Amino acid sequence: MKIIILLFAIVLGFGATCKKTADDIRVTAAKYKLQQEQKELRSYPNLLPEVLIVAPKA
């Protein structure tokens, strides 16, 4: 009976470890993707419109 409980505990521990690892990999992949997008956007020019304010001569 003790062996069955021990094996069950080992399987649960392994499952929890695998789940934690999968979550960590997903977070790391999301961070990597964000970094890649930021690097890609750095190569674009400034796309904001230029506004020229001209005051009339008084």
The two counts, helices (H) then strands (E), for the chain are: 1, 0
- The reply to whether 47 falls in a domain is no
* Cα gap 27→33, rounded to integer Å: 10
The 10s digit of each residue's pLDDT in 6-51 is 999 999 999 999 999 999 999 999 999 999 998 888 888 877 888 8
Residue 28 lies in a domain: yes
Q: Does residue 17 or residue 54 have the better pLDDT? A: 17
Q: Is 50 inside any structural domain?
A: no
Q: In whole angstroms, give the CA distance from residue 22 to residue 15.
A: 11
Using the predicted structure, report yes or no on whether residue 2 has a pLDDT greater than 80. Answer: yes
Give a yes or no: residue 51 inside a domain: no
- Host domain of residue 3: 1-42
pTM: 0.58
In a domain, residue 56? The reply is no
As for how many domains the chain has, the answer is 1
Predicted pLDDT at 7: 96
